[in-house]
Amino acid sequence: MGGMVDIQDKTSTSREAVSEGFLLLRDGTLKVVRAGQTKKGDPVKTSEVAAIQAVKDTPRIIPFCHPIPLTNVAVELEVLDDRVRCECRVKAHYKTGVEMESLVGVTVALLTFWDMVKYLEKDQAGQYPHTRIEGIRVISKVK
């Protein structure tokens, strides 16, 4: 029978997961972002907030994830030469890990960033031939 894993008899320990991912964007888009001239506002700050909100909602997004009492969520977005890098660190003292929370945070941050700059990324046919999210992975975890 499927369902959530029974963690009743597990001992709570310190848990931490750090994930990263990248959003590839056009040079022109990154220039507008660096100049602070995007139409919807600051995509970095908005994406950071979206990631934190998503981390807290992970059990509602992924069916078999346990609701975890988080102790910290830290999100960092960095505008690089040809892409945006997101790192999301999640901490808890609980019976199960926080990898899914960290991965959800990265994913939602990058999706939010894309949403805020998509008008700059579309080609003449309304497509996104250059834009892509890639390399989402857990880079470290404790317990």
Alpha carbon distance 107, 129 (integer Å) = 20
Which of these is catalytic: 27, 42, 115, 123? 115
Q: Are 122 and 130 in contact (CB under 8 A)?
A: no
SS3 88: strand
Q: Is the dihedral of CA 44, 46, 51, 56 positive or negative?
A: positive
57 included as an active-site residue? no
Nearest-angstrom CA–CA distance, 21 and 103 = 9
Query: Which residues are known to be catalytic?
Result: 115
